[in-house]
A and B are shown apart, each in its own frame.
Chain A
Amino acid sequence: MAATKASKEQKYDRQLRLWGDHGQETLENAHVCLINATATGTEILKNLVLPGIGAFTIVDGHTVSGEDKRNVFALTLALMLQNRAQAATELLQELNSDVSGNFVEESPDKLLDNDPEFFHRFTIVIGVQLPESTCLRLGSVLWSASVPFLVCKTYGLIGYMRLAVQEHTVIESHPDNALEDLRLDQPFGEFKNHIQSYDLDSMDKKDHSHTPWIIIVAKYLEKWLSEHNGQPPKNYKDKEAFRQLIREGILKNENGVPEDEENFEEAIKNVNTALNPTKVPSAVEDLFNSEQCKNITSQTPDFWVMLRAVKEFVHNEGNGSLPVRGTIPDMIADSQKFINLQNPPESISEKDIKLFCKNASFLRVVRCRSLTEEYSVDSVNKDEITSCMDSPDSEMVFYLMLRAVDRFYQQHSRYPGVYNYQVEEDISKLKLCVNGLLQEYSLNVNIKDDYIHEFCRYGAAEPHTVAAFLGGSAAQEAIKIISHQFVPFSNTFIYNAMSQTSATLQL
C-alpha cells in the first residue's frame, strides 16, 4: 500500500506541483461521464485519465465506423464489430491502471427517456458532438440536479465548448499576478513594532546593507508621512521624489560615492507595488453584497458561510481590510464563534478557514446561464451577439454557424456536405437555416456566404488536430470544476484553427 502511494506521488509529481495533494484527491474521487467516444471525446477523456480521475463512464450507442478507427487507440480490425463505447473504454483504461472505466452501450436519448437520474451520480458530464435536441434535454436534467455540464464540439476547423453550471465557487484561484500583501499604508500592530526595532541611522555598514527592502520602504514612508501631513506619495511626481528620498539613504564611502546596496535598489524598484493602497478588491466586495452571502441558512454551502465571516471581520476587527494573508490568529477565534452558530463545528476546520483567509483577495464565483436560457427566444443574449458581430474578425460568426448547422441536422437528419456531391446543393439549404435562425431570434446581423460555403465544405469532419486542441482545453476545464482550483471559463469558448485565435463569449 505504501509502495503504491509513493509511486503515485512520483507519477503525479509534475501535476501535484500545480494543484497539490488535496487537488489530486478531488480528482481521484471524481466520476466523469463522457457521452460519445469520438475523436474529441476520447482525447478529452485521455487527458482526464492520465492525471488520474477516479472513474469514468462512456455513454455511446454507436458502433465503430471507418472514421472512428483512425483514433489514437488505433482499433484493430478485430474491434470493428464492437460498439464504440466498449472499444474506447478498454483502450483508455490502458493509459492509467489507477482509473476505473465503465461503458453504457446506449444513446443518451434512450437514457433520458428511461432513466434520467442515471446522470445524477456524476461529478461532471461531458457531452460531445450532441445534436441540439439531445443537448437541451440533457442540459435541463443536469441543471436541475446541479451536475456541471460541459458541451464540446469539433466541427471542421472550429472547436466549441459550453459550460453550464449554476454556481461554481473557487477559493484557490492561483492568480498569475498576486501582489504581495504589504499594507504599508496601514501597518498592523506586529509589523509596526517590528519596524520600530530597526534604526537605519545608527546601523553599521553590514546591517545597513542587509536590512530587508520592505523595512526600508516602511521606514522612509514614515519619514515622508511626517513631512507631508500624513499624505502618502500619490502621483508619479510624488513617487519619484519618494524614490529619491530612499536613494539618498544609501551609504556613501569616504569619497562621497554611493556604496553598492542591493537592498536599497530593491526598495526603489518596488516603490510602485509597495505603495498600492490596501483595499478590498471590488470582485470580493461584490461577493460580500450577493444574496448568498447576506442570507445564510443551514443549507448554505461552506464557501458562503466563510465569506460571511470574513465580511464581518472586515467591517469590525479588520477596520475595512481583509485578514492579513500571512497570519490570522484573531480571525480564527472570531470566525469560529460565528460559524459555531450556523454549523456543526466539524464541517469547517481551522485548516479550511486558514486557506480561505489566505485566498480572500482572490475568491471567485462563476455562474453560467442555463442552456434553456441561451436557446430561448425570450432570453437569448442579443446584445452580446450583435455587438460581437460588429467586429469583422469576431469568432461569434462561428457560434451562429454551429447553431445553423444544428438546425440543418434537425431538418434533414444529417449534416451538410458530408458527401462530395452534397456540398454545392447544401449551401443554399444551409443558408435557409442561417436565415431562419437569425429571423427567429430577431438578430439583425449579416453572415457572409463564405462562412456558409466553408461549413458545407467541412462536411461535419472532426480533424484530429482540432479534436486534440479541444481535448486538452476541455479536460482542463473539467479538472477546474472537479478540483475547485483555478477559474473555469464562462460560458462559451470558440477556437478557430484557421487563424489560431479564440474567444470566450457570454451567451
Chain B
Amino acid sequence: MDGKYNFTILKSTQFFINTTCLNPIFLSSSREKKRRRIEDLTEKMAVDGGHRDSGCDWDGRWNHVRKFLERPGPFTHPDFEPSTESLQFLLETCKILVIGAGGLGCELLKNLALSGFRLIHVVDMDTIDVSNLNRQFLFRPKDVGRPKAEVAADFINSRIPGCKVVPHFKKIQDFDESFYRQFHIIVCGLDSIIARRWMNGMLISLLSYEDGVLDPSSIIPLIDGGTEGFKGNARVILPGMTACIDCTLELYPPQINFPMCTIASMPRLPEHCIEYARILQWPKEKPFGDTSLDGDNPEHIQWVFDRAQERAAEFNITGVTYRLTQGVVKRIIPAVASTNAVIAAACATEVFKIATSAYIPLNNYLVFNDVDGLYTYTFEAERKENCSACSQVPQDLQFPPSAKLQEVLEYLTENASLQMKSPAITTTLEGKNKTLYLQSVKSIEERTRPNLCKTLKELGLSDGQELAVADVTTPQTVLFKLNFTA
C-alpha cells in the first residue's frame, strides 16, 4: 500500500494562495509570532481567573475532534499538519466572539462548546421573550425578561464542564477596537443588516497595511449567518481579502413596502388593509393621544386590527387576523428551530475549519432553503472594486454645483450600493470643520436643516472637495470626493 495520496484541492487555486498566509497559529515563524501575540493578548484580557481545569476532560470526550486534528488526510487544508497541540489550542487559547444570543446564537454557543472551544464571549442587547422559546433552547419560561447573553452563558457554563462563556448585555456599538481585536474569529447571528454592516466596518477598520500591503495577522475572519423562515445563509468573510457585507448589499432582499397608491385606494391583500390603518389612519386619528404605534402594546394592535377589518370588509378582502396584524406592524419574521440549527451548524463548521486549518474554509457563501426538499447553493461572492466599506477606493460623488444638498442626501440613502440610513455630512471649509447636515441630534438637525435647500456652490463647496460621511451602517467615516459635473 503506497503512502502517497493525491491532494485534492476542493477550492479555487486563487483562494488557496490567499489563505496560505492566513493560518492562525503554530508552525511557521509568522504563525509563531502571531501565537505569541495571541498569548500576550490572552494574558492582558485576563478572563475569569484564567485557570483551565483540564481535569474535566474525561476519557473519550474529544475523540470526535481529535480524529480531525491528529490524523493526516487527503482533503485537508494544504497547511494542515496533524498535531496534538491543535486540541490544546482550541481548549485553552482560541478566543471566539459570538454576536447575538438568539435563534442562531444559542445554537452557535452550543456547537462551539461541544467542538472544544472554551473561551467564548457573547454579546446581545436583548432580553428573553416568550416567543423566543420555540427555538432559543438555552432559555426556559422562568427566564423571560432576563438578558439573553447572561442566561445563555449561565446555561453553557453550568452544563458543559470547562467552558467559560463571558456574556455582555450590550450593543455591539458599545465596544471599540480594543475589545474586538482580542478575538481570533467572530461569528454573527444577527437579525439586522445595519448591525452586520457595522460589525463588518469595525473589522475592516482593524486592518493594517504596510506599504500598501495588507498584514494578514490583522485580519479577523467574520462568519455571518442569517435565517428567515425556511431560508438561510452562511458566509465566510476575510476582511480586506474576500467580499464583505457591503460588497454584496444588493443580495439582501428589499423590505416589502407596498406602493402607497395600493394602500390608499386599491387594496387587494389583507396586508394592504393593515398598512392603511397603520400608516394613514393612526397618525390622523391618534387613538391614544400623541403616542406612536407600539407593536408590543396589545391595545394598539387591537385598534389597528379593528380598523383593518373594517377596511377589508369594504373591499371584500379576507384574511385579516390579529396574528397577521401583529406580524405586519412589528415586521415579524417567522422562525423555527430547524433552520437556525442548520445555519448555525454550517457557521460553526467554518469556525472549526478556520481555527484548526483542518479543511479549506467555505469560499464563501452558502444559501439554504428547505421549503421544497432541501436545497443548498454554494458560490463565491465577489468583492466590489469600489466598495464603500472595504475597497479603500475614494468614493465619488458626481453633482452639478447647482445641485441642492438634499439631493446628495437622497443619493446616499437611496443608492443600492450605499443604502445609508441617516448620514451625517461634514467637511473642512477654510481650515475649519463644518457640519453640513446631521439628523441624529435634534439641535444640530434644526440648525443645519436650512443647508438642505442650499446648492453645493452656495455652501462654499468646490470641485474635488472631500466630504466625510458618518452613518449607523459603519463605525468609520466614509470619505467622498465631490466631482462637479457641468
Chain A residues in the interface with B (C-beta under 8 A) = 7, 10-18, 39, 43, 46-47, 50-52, 65-67, 69-74, 77, 94-95, 156-157, 173-176, 209-212, 262-263, 266, 420, 423-424, 427-428, 448-450, 453-454, 457-459, 461-466, 468-469, 471-473, 475-477, 479, 486-490, 493, 495, 497-502, 504
Contact = CB atoms under 8 A, between A and B. Distances in A.
A454 B76 CA distance: 10
A175 B372 contact: yes
Given A457-B67, A501-B376, A73 B159 contact: yes
A486 B1 contact: no
B111 interface: yes
A453 B342 CA distance: 28
Most buried by A among B8, B266, B345: B345
Nearest to B63: A67
Contacts, number: 228
B418 interface: no
Contact of B134 (A11, A209, A472): A11
A205 B62 CA distance: 74
Given A263-B261, A501-B378, A69 B61 contact: yes
B371 A486 contact: yes
Nearest to B335: A14
Contacts of B5: 449-450, 453
A498 B58 CA distance: 28
A67 B60 contact: yes
Contacts of A7: 130
A427 B59 CA distance: 26
B63 A461 contact: yes
Contacts of A210: 261, 264-266
A11 B131 contact: yes
A24 to B, nearest CB: 10
Interface in B317-359: 323, 327, 332-346, 348-350, 352, 359
Given A15-B335, A16-B323, A17-B323, A487 B63 contact: no
Contact of A461 (B64, B72, B133): B64
A263 B73 contact: no
A471 B161 CA distance: 23
A489 B74 CA distance: 31
B73 A50 contact: no
A12 B159 CA distance: 26
Contacts of B345: 465-466, 468-469, 471-472
A423 B161 contact: no
Contact of A473 (B134, B161, B350, B374): B374
A425 to B, nearest CB: 9
16 contacts: A11-B133, A17-B323, A51-B337, A70-B61, A72-B114, A94-B140, A176-B372, A262-B261, A450-B74, A457-B72, A468-B344, A469-B342, A493-B373, A500-B378, A501-B376, A502-B374
Given A11-B131, A427-B1, A475-B341, 16 more contacts: A11-B133, A14-B335, A66-B58, A66-B63, A212-B266, A262-B260, A263-B261, A450-B8, A458-B67, A459-B67, A465-B111, A465-B345, A468-B110, A479-B338, A498-B360, A499-B378
Contacts of B360: 498
List the 3 closest pairs (A to B, CB-CB), nearest first: A66-B60, A472-B341, A472-B342
Nearest to B2: A449
Nearest to A161: B374
Contacts of B72: 457
Contacts of B110: 72, 468
A10 B131 contact: yes
Contact of B67 (A10, A176, A461, A488): A461
Contact of B338 (A39, A47, A263, A459): A47
B341 A488 contact: no
A476 B336 contact: yes
A479 to B, nearest CB: 7
A263 B334 contact: no
A463 B64 contact: yes
Given A464-B111, A500-B362, A473 B68 contact: no
A425 B348 CA distance: 32
A266 B268 CA distance: 14
A461 B5 CA distance: 21
B49 interface: no
Interface residues of B, number: 80
B75 A498 contact: yes
Contacts of A428: 1
B224 interface: no
Contacts of A266: 259
Given A210-B266, A488-B373, A454 B73 contact: yes
A43 B370 CA distance: 17
Contact of A51 (B64, B130, B134): B134
B371 A174 contact: yes
Contacts of B115: 463-465
A463 B159 contact: no
Contact of A263 (B63, B266, B378): B266
Contacts of A18: 229-230, 334, 336
B180 interface: no
Nearest to B129: A10
B372 A173 contact: yes
A265 to B, nearest CB: 9
Given A450-B74, A453-B73, A424 B1 contact: yes
B134 A12 contact: yes
Given A13-B323, A448-B6, A464-B111, A487 B372 contact: yes
A469 B349 contact: yes
B65 interface: yes
Nearest to B160: A74
A298 B359 CA distance: 58
B26 interface: no
B73 A17 contact: no
Given A14-B135, A16-B323, A463-B65, A500 B60 contact: no
Contacts of A156: 67
Contact of A50 (B60, B137, B333): B137
A466 B350 CA distance: 11
Interface string B40-84: 000000000000000000111111110110111111000000000
A70 B327 CA distance: 39
Contacts of B114: 39, 70-72, 464
A420 B342 contact: no
A454 B75 contact: yes
Nearest to A66: B60
Nearest to B268: A212
Contacts of A16: 323
Contacts of A461: 63-64, 67-68
A450 B6 contact: yes
Contacts of A175: 371-372
Contacts of A457: 67, 71-73
Contacts of B342: 468-469, 472-473
Nearest to A65: B60
Contacts of B70: 420
A504 B373 contact: yes
Given A212-B266, A427-B1, A450-B5, A464 B64 contact: yes
Contacts of B352: 465
B38 to A, nearest CB: 23
A136 B463 CA distance: 77
A29 to B, nearest CB: 18
B134 to A, nearest CB: 5
B107 interface: yes
Given A457-B67, A464-B114, A176 B332 contact: no
A17 B58 CA distance: 44
A486 B67 contact: no
Nearest to A211: B266
B366 interface: yes
A467 to B, nearest CB: 8
Contacts of B71: 420, 423, 457, 459
B393 interface: no
A499 B134 contact: no
A47 B110 CA distance: 14
